[in-house]
Amino acid sequence: MGRMSFRILLALAALLLAVGAAGCGGDDEGSGGGDGGGTLVFGTSADPVVLDGSLVSDGESLRVIDQIYETLVSLKAGTTELAPGLAESWEISDNGLAYTFQLREGVEFHDGEPFNSEAVCTNFDRWYNFKGSFQNSSASYYWQTVFGGFKTPEEGSPDESFYASCEATDENTVVLNLSKPSSSILGALSLSAFSIASPKALEEFGADEGRVDEEGVFQPTGTFGTEHPIGTGPFKFESWERGDRLVLSRNDDYYGDKAALEQVIFRPIDDNAARLQALQSGEIQGFDLVEPQDIETIEGDESLQVLDRPAFNVGYVGFNQAIKPMDNIKVRQAIAYGLNRQEVVDEFYAGRGEVAKQFLPPEVTGYAPEVTEYEFDPERSRKLLEEAGLTLPVKITFWYPSDVSRPYMPDPKRNFEAFSASLKEAGFQIVPKTAPWSPDYLGQVDEGKAQVYLLGWTGDFGDPDNFIGTFFQTPQKAWGFENQAIFDKLDEAEAETDLDAREELYQDANRQIMNFLPGVPYVHTKPALAFQADVQGYEPSPVSLESFATVTLGGEGSEK
C-alpha cells in the first residue's frame, strides 16, 4: 500500500471516529421534564404566513395562532360543540340581529393590557375597516365568508356586509349588531379568524399600516403579525426564524389551567417522508398530515402513536348540468348507481374512510338520518339510461386531478380508475381528462369546463352552512344548475336562529339535494396525526382547533 492511500485511510478512520463521537452527545431535541413539562417540537408542513388570524386561512398559520390567541366563542375540545371562550355567555335578540356577550373578567393580554369590551370592539372594527389587499379573499377569507363585505369596499369585494356595529355597553358586555340574521354566526365566531388581539399591540406594531406603492397597490409594512403577535392564549410568541423554527413559550399569567409544556417549537419540514424520519429519530415529537401509507409503519413502532381526527370532509363526484346530458336527472341517477363507492373506500383509504351518503359529514348538525341512497347497481344504471332515450354506451368526460393528495382523496388517479371501471359496467363510455391540481384543474372545474369531476372539501367550522351552503346556496359554474327551491331552502335555514328549527331545515335541504343529485358524495375520511408515544393529552379536533396547553411529555407523568 502506497503512502498516499495509507494517509487517506487514516483520514477516513478519523472521520468515522468523529462521527461516532458525535453520537455520544445524544440527539433528542425535545426534552421531557419529570413534571410533564419541557419542550415539544412539532413538525409542520410549512412556515405560517403571518400570525394574525384575520389575514390568513392556511392550516399552518392557524395552528400557531390557536395557541397564542383566543376567540369569544370556543369549541369543546375534540368536537364542534360550542363552549364559552373569552365570552362566558351570550344571548341572541328575538329578531336575530343583536348578539350580547358577557365577557370573562380578569383576563390580560400578553403585553399586560386588560381584555375588555373595548378591546373586542377594536378588533371587530378593525376587520370591518380593512383596506387594500387585506380585502383579498386570500387574506380575509373568513370575514368575507361570515360577514360579507367591508366598510369601504375595494373593487371586486362583496358589496354587502352583515356586520352593522359593535357596542361596548359596559366594561364586560359587548353587543354585536348585524344587518341580517344569520344563524351560523356563533359557530363562526369560534374560528381563529376572529381571534382577539391586544389593541395596544395592533396599534404599536402597525397591524394595518402599509404604503401604497408606485402601482397604487397597498403593501402592508407592520410587524404585528410577524414579530409581535399578542393575544390572551396559553402560549406567548417568543421568536421566529423562517425555514427553521417558531418558538412559543408558556404564558405563566394565563387565567385558566396553565400549560404544562414550557415551550412548543414548530419546525417546518415540507417532505412527508422527512417528517416521518424526523419523528423516528426523535428530532420532533409529533407531526400532522400523516400519509395513509405511513400509518402501518407508525402503528408498528411502539415508541410512536397515531391519533385520528374525526371525519370533517367530503370527497365527491361533481356533475356540471350545463353540459348535456348531465341536466337529465336519469343520467345523474345512472352515474350514482354506477359508482362502486364501497370498493373505492375499502381499497384506497387504508381503513380511514367511510362511504358518504350526503354532502355533510355525520358529525355536523343538520346531517339527515335518512336520505335517498344509491347502492352500486349497474343494471339499474343501464335501465335508467335507456329510459332517458340514450343509446348505450353513453359518452361522458370524466376529470381527475394529478399532483395532489388531499385527505378526501389520497390518490385521485386510483379513485378515477376504479370509478371509470364501474361506470363502464353501468353503460358509460369514459373519456378521461386530467390536469395538475392547482391551479390548472381547479381553475377548469370552477370555470365550468368539466362535465364529471372528482373534488372535495374540508370544513372550516362545524356548521352545515360551511358545507352545503358553500356548495349549493348560489348558482355556480362548476355545478351549472339553477334550482331555486334549494337556494331558497338554504337561505331560509341560514336565517333561522332557532336551533331546532334550523337543524330540521338543513336536514330537509340535505334530502332535497340527494334527490336532485347535483353530484355524488362518496367518502368522509379521518385525517391522522403522529406523535411519540410519551406525548399525552393532545385532543384532535374535527376542525383542527387543537391546543398544546393540555399536552404533557413523559408518558406516565401525565397526571396533573
Partner 1 sequence: MLRFVVRRLLLLVPILLGLSILVFLWIRALPGGPAQALLGERSTPEAVAQIERQYGLDQPVHVQYWRFLKKSARFDFGDSTTSRRPVTEELGNRFPATVELALAAMLFSVVIGVPLGFIAAKRYGTAVDHASLIASLLGVSIPIFFLAILLKYIFAVELGLLPTVGRLSVLIDLEHPTGFYILDALIAADIEALWDAVKHLILPAVALGSIPLAIIARITRAAVLDVQNEDYVRTARAKGLAPGIVDRRHVLRNAMLPVTTIIGLQVGLLLSGAVLTEKVFAWPGMGSWLVDAIQDRNFPVLQGGILFLALVFVLVNLLVDLSYAVLNPRIRLS
Q: What are phi and psi of 239, to 5 degrees?
A: -160, 165
Residues 327-346 that bind partner 1 (CB under 8 A): none
By C-alpha distance, which of 255, 222, 189 is closest to 51?
Answer: 222
Question: 523, 314 in Cβ contact below 8 A?
Answer: yes
- Which of 446, 508 has the CB closer to partner 1? 446
d(CA 19, CA 117): 59
Say how far apart CA 497 and CA 504 lie, in whole Å.
12
Contact stretch for partner 1 (CB under 8 A) within 130-138, 333-341, 424-432, 527-535:
130-138
For the packed helices 499-516 and 484-495, what is the interaxial angle rounded to 10 degrees?
160
Residue 41 C-beta-side C-alpha neighbours within 13 Å: 19
* DSSP line for 339-353: --HHHHHHHHSTT-E
Residue selected from 29, 125, 291, 386 as contacting partner 1 according to rule CB under 8 A: 29
**Does residue 322 bind partner 1 (CB under 8 A)?**
no
**CA distance linking residue 98 with residue 296, whole number of Å:** 51
Give CA–CA dist 69/62, Å, rounded. Answer: 10
Cell 379573499 belongs to residue: 137
For the bound state, the minimum distance from the C-beta of residue 125 to partner 1, rounded and expressed in Å, comes to 22
Nearer to partner 1, 8 or 485 (CB): 8
Q: Where are the beta strands (DSSP E) in 423-491?
A: 428-436, 452-458
| Residue nearer to partner 1 on the CB measure, 269 or 394 | 269
- Written as nine digits, the cell of 44 is 409542520
Q: Are 122 and 166 a contacting pair, CB within 8 Å?
A: no
Considering only residues 32 through 71, tell me which ones interact with partner 1, judged by CB under 8 A: 39, 41, 43, 47, 49-50, 57
Q: Which helix (H) or strand (E) holds 306?
A: strand 304-308
Give the residue, chosen from 108, 118, 125, 154, that forms a contact with partner 1 under the rule CB under 8 A: 154
Which of 160, 270, 375, 482: binder of partner 1 (CB under 8 A)? 270
Q: Does 3 bind partner 1 (CB under 8 A)?
A: yes
Q: What is the DSSP string of 61-98?
A: HHHHHHHH---SEEE-TTSS-EEESSEEEEEE-TTS-E
Q: Which residue, 104 or 406, has its beta carbon nearer to partner 1?
A: 406
Q: Does 271 bind partner 1 (CB under 8 A)?
A: yes
Q: Interface mask (CB under 8 A) for partner 1, residues 185-204, using x and -?
A: --------------------
Binding flag, residue 248, partner 1 (CB under 8 A): no
Residues 6+ apart with CB under 8 A from 323: 397, 448, 451, 480
Q: Judged by CB, which is closer to partner 1: 271, or 347?
A: 271
Residue of 8, 13, 485, 501 interacting with partner 1 (CB under 8 A): 8
Cβ distance to partner 1 smaller for residue 238 or 308: 238
The residue (of 84 and 132) whose beta carbon lies closer to partner 1 is: 132
- Residue 244 interacts with partner 1 (CB under 8 A)? yes
Assess 361 for contact with partner 1 (CB under 8 A): no
Report how far residue 159's alpha carbon sits from residue 161's, in angstroms, rounded to the nearest whole number: 7
- φ, ψ at 514 (rounded to 5°): -70, -15
> What pairs with residue 245 in β-bridges?
241
Total chain residues near partner 1 (CB under 8 A): 69
245 binds partner 1 (CB under 8 A): yes
Sole binder of partner 1 in the list 79, 93, 102, 136 (CB under 8 A)? 136
Contact stretch for partner 1 (CB under 8 A) within 108-116, 413-421, 437-445, 506-514: 437-445
Q: Applying CB under 8 A, which of residues 10, 438, 475, 488 lies at the interface with partner 1?
A: 438
| Among the listed residues 93, 100, 157, 483, the single contact to partner 1 using CB under 8 A | 157
CB of 235: closest distance to partner 1 in angstroms?
A: 16
280 binds partner 1 (CB under 8 A): yes
- Closest separation in Å from C-beta 263 to partner 1: 9
Binding test (CB under 8 A) with partner 1, winner from 71, 116, 117, 135: 135
The DSSP annotation for 158-189 comes to -S-BSEEEEEEEETTEEEEEESS--TTHHHHT
Q: Does 432 bind partner 1 (CB under 8 A)?
A: no
Instruction: Using CB under 8 A, pick the residue from 281, 342, 402, 515 that binds partner 1.
Output: 281
Beta carbons within 8 Å of 466's beta carbon, 6+ residues apart = 145, 184, 459, 460
Non-local CB neighbours of 76 within 8 Å, separated by 6+ positions: 82, 83
Listed in order, strand segments (DSSP E) in 114-258 are 163-170, 173-178, 210-212, 218-220, 235-241, 245-250
- For residue 410, state whether it binds partner 1 (rule: CB under 8 A): no
At 174, list the grid cell: 359587548
Q: Note whether 555 binds partner 1 by CB under 8 A.
A: no
267 binds partner 1 (CB under 8 A): yes
Among 84, 114, 268, 310, binds partner 1 (CB under 8 A): 268
User: Binding to partner 1 (CB under 8 A): which residues in 201-240?
Assistant: 215, 217-220
* DSSP run (H or E) holding 201: helix 199-204
Give dist(CA 394, CA 323) in Å, integer.
14
For partner 1, the closer of residues 157 and 365 by Cβ is: 157
Single out the segment in contact with partner 1 by CB under 8 A; choices: 131-139, 227-235, 370-378, 418-426.
131-139
Residues lying near partner 1 in the complex (CB under 8 A) are found at 2-5, 8, 19-20, 22-23, 25-27, 29, 31, 39, 41, 43, 47, 49-50, 57, 132-133, 135-138, 141, 154-157, 215, 217-220, 241-245, 247, 265, 267-271, 273-274, 277-278, 280-284, 403, 435, 438-440, 442-443, 446, 455-457
